[in-house]
Amino acid sequence: MTSPYRLLFDKGFVNLDAEKAHHLGFAGIRAAAPALRGISRALPSRAGVRVMGLDFPGVLGLAAGFDKNAVGIDALGALGFGSVEIGTVTGEPQPGNPKPRLLRLPHDRAVVNRMGFNNDGAEAVARRLARRAAGGRPGGPVLGINIGKTKVVPEDAAIADYEKSTGLLASYADYLVVNVSSPNTPGLRDLQAVAKLEPLLLAVRRRADEVTDTRVPLLVKIAPDLSDADVLEVAALATAIGLDGIVATNTTIDRSGLTSSAAEIEQAGAGGLSGEPLRKRSLEVLRLLRGAVGDDLTLIGVGGIAGIEDALERLNAGADLLQAYTAFIYEGPLWPRRMNTAIAKEQRR
């Protein structure tokens, strides 16, 4: 039986520009926030997990990219996400790439985005998070903050750019993620090379420790398009420098194996592909990482997780936590709570 949301999506949202549909849907979630929080408090919570010294209300969280500017953290948490990772936030505000820059491939349950880290910048996001902290949000989702490089900042100034964001945002984060894996900022993925990644991660770690009283867990988000050898190099680096974890994986530039027509793929254009086509490689990367790091690091599995079978497969492969984005778009607002409830039920068996 087709859900009311799927009917709405297939008959309505799918005909809207994807970015406009995102803004409309997100506005509706924020408008419903008071009612959502009331419902959330009334529901029993049996899906919690403790990871990195943090208590997550549920294993499944929302990946970065949905709430770029920290405008709907608690409303999204009230939908049932155990964590919300905001961003990617850059040191300076930027408009992102020209539109259209967010497109769907419905036959593949996928999304192509070339947003280009459009966000209000670290200073504006920090002010927003300060207001949230002052208001107090007990029982909300675990807050991850994902930081990236400002597009106009040259590579030789990238570390300072990440340090700026870290200094402004780390004190509000339950955990921090360094994003060096988006395909939509020129040169960003070059920072995944270990020789460039190590000084960057060490600088962010130092800056985070300078501005916080308690240690904030630090993770790095990597691309699925890395070779196996490069994945293992990142794993070795993360272990050597005492990183807390790795988010695996970001979107892919690969277009192989899609069922959408050539015309649809061409129309969608360049950018990062997310959703079902990412599932296989993201799972492979996760298994590689777990085999390399043992139990020492937290691994967050993301990419192509749409159903309970996907979630359990990722957890059995070594993920401590899960994230999703594209399935939330296709499955609707009831999906995160349904997923976290189902995961908890399976884990109790």
Q: Is there a binding annotation on residue 97?
A: no
Q: What is the DSSP letter of 206?
A: H
Is residue 113 within 8 Å of residue 68, measured between CB atoms? Answer: no
- Closest by Cα among 150, 172, 177, 175 to 161: 150
Q: Is there a binding annotation on residue 221?
A: yes
Q: Is there a binding annotation on residue 179?
A: yes
Q: Is there a binding annotation on residue 113?
A: yes
Q: Is there a binding annotation on residue 88?
A: yes
Q: Which residues of 184-199 are buried (b: 16+ CB within 10 A; e: fewer)?
A: bbeebbebbeeeebee
DSSP code per residue over 266-303: HHH-SSEEEEGGGHHHHHHHHHHHHHHHTTSSEEEEES
- Cβ neighbors of 140 (< 8 A, separation 6 or more) are 73, 74, 77
Does residue 261 have an active-site annotation?
no
Is residue 177 within 8 Å of residue 147, measured between CB atoms? Answer: yes
From 182, 260, 274, 282, active-site residue: 182
Q: Is there a binding annotation on residue 15?
A: no
Phi/psi for 154 (5° steps) reads -70, 160
Q: Is there a binding annotation on residue 316?
A: no
Q: Is there a binding annotation on residue 250?
A: yes
Q: Is there a binding annotation on residue 116?
A: yes
Q: Is there a binding annotation on residue 65?
A: yes
Residues labelled as active-site residues: 182
Binding residues: 64-68, 88, 113-117, 146, 179, 184, 221, 249-251, 275, 304, 325-326
Binding residues for FMN: 64-68, 88, 146, 179, 221, 249, 275, 304, 325-326
Binding residues for substrate: 68, 113-117, 179, 184, 250-251
